[in-house]
Amino acid sequence: MKRSFLLLYVLLVHAFYGAWCSSVGGSLHCEYSNLASLHRPHSVSITEFGAVGDGVTLNTKAFQNALFYPNSFSDKGGAKLFVPAGQWLTGSFDLISHLTLWLDSGATILGSTSSENWPVVDPLPSYGRGRELPGRRHRSLIYGQNLTDVVITGENGTIDGQGSVWWDWFRNGELNYTRPHLVELMNSTGLIISNLTFLNSPFSNKMIDSTLKEVSHLV
């Protein structure tokens, strides 16, 4: 389980615009001038929707409800979902357009170790079947499709898939479906991903088939 999936971003450099990127010391760094999308006129904290950052309480519903709320600001510059310091256990959840998902210093989004909290969906069209097993696959921890203007960033927060259990299931032949990624953004435009650490993916860290604006400071 690698801490990052740097090769994916190296291959996607040509999809950037307004960014200059280089690989130094095992991480990818991009410098860019347009930071307008990082600033939103509206902000809400995950705690306002009942989330508990104790690493034990399952917060899937809180994330789902919190991400439904900013929809009302989609035509007003979008909104920021603030995740403060803590261990925020969750199953898979969907992002929306015109959103900034902000992980504060000390904030960790933890993937649930129960497969029931990772819904089963159709295989990627490009494969036509599961990558590891025929048929369907588990959806990624953070998922988005047909989105625009999405930022995932913060103060060096962490997205931790707690993937060791998935790797054990895979090695022991106990899986019925292909394993999930940490972050999957499909058919989307205007994405920024920066200042994050990706850990312990069930499969691979990121799966992005979209047009990115910037990617930087990833570990």
The pLDDT tens digits for 83-95 are 999 999 999 999 9
Burial class (CB in 10 A: 0-12, 13-18, 19+), 185: buried
- The answer to the question of residue 145 being in a domain is yes
Is residue 33 in some structural domain? no
- The verdict on residue 26 lying in a domain is no
Give the predicted TM-score (pTM) of the model: 0.79
Write a three-state SS string for 142-181.
EEEECCEEEEEEECCEEEECCCHHHHHHHHCCCCCCECCC
- Tally of structural domains, the chain: 1
Confirm whether 35 is domain-assigned: no
Averaged over 161-186, what is the pLDDT?
A: 92
pLDDT band at 43 (very low <50, low <70, confident <90, very high): very high
Q: Is residue 73 part of a domain?
A: yes
Amino acid at 193: I
Q: Which of 5, 14, 11, 10 is nearest to 23 (CA)?
A: 10
- Asked if residue 14 is part of any domain, the answer here is yes
Residues 178-218: tens digit of each pLDDT: 999 899 888 888 888 888 888 999 986 444 443 344 444 44
Query: Does residue 38 lie in a domain region?
Result: no
For residue 171, give the CATH number of its domain. Answer: 2.160.20.10
Could you tell me if residue 36 is inside a domain? no
DSSP E strand stretches across 47-199: 54-58, 79-83, 86-90, 93-94, 99-103, 107-111, 120-121, 137-138, 142-145, 148-154, 157-160, 183-199
Domain that holds residue 174: 6-21+43-218
